[in-house]
Amino acid sequence: LRFINTDASCYRAEKNSELEDLQNKVYTPLFLYCKKKYKLDFIVSYSIMPFEQSNYNSKIVEKIVKGLDNISLIAFYHIMSFTNSIIVSLNILDENINEQRAWEIINIEHNFNIRKWGNDIENEKKLLLKKKLFIDIINFKKIFKTSWS
């Protein structure tokens, strides 16, 4: 639950910027999914300063986490480590988005900066290794859920 007040998807670029537009297009459906399914209503900030989400959200997320089976809890923990976002992680865990889309979403700023400033080959190699691990974590849940069901 330590990510609830620092959820990466709740921090947006400067208002009316190209990146903020992109973030809104990508994150809004994820927020709406969490609101519809879990009644979560996260606050969005346009500042880098920390802020607190509602106690109501904290209680709901705690209930969700406590209700996870062991495999889902392990997957949730590791997905959270990559995404720094409860919202994105819940969408992945519920298979509302697939691993490829999830990867694009958690790298939205990185990809935006590449389009704007160019690519660094060494960094790209490291990113590909991280992507493989990220997809392996998501597949871990799928494989174990299938074999234990």
User: Which pLDDT score, from 0 to 100, does residue 145 have?
Assistant: 64
Dump pLDDT digits (tens) for 107-126. Answer: 999 999 999 888 888 888 88
Amino acid at 31: F
Dump pLDDT digits (tens) for 38-91. Answer: 999 999 999 888 888 999 999 999 999 999 999 899 999 999 999 999 999 999
Q: Is 141 helix (H, G, I), strand (E, B) or coil?
A: helix
Asked if 8 and 2 touch (Cβ cutoff 8 Å), the reply is: no
User: Which pLDDT score, from 0 to 100, does residue 21 have?
Assistant: 96
Percent of the chain with pLDDT strictly greater than 70? 96
What mean pLDDT comes out for the span 9-22?
Answer: 95
Query: Does position 20 have pLDDT exceeding 90, yes or no?
Result: yes
**Residue for token digits 């880098």?**
48
Query: Does position 25 have pLDDT exceeding 90, yes or no?
Result: yes
Token readout for 80 is: 């959270």
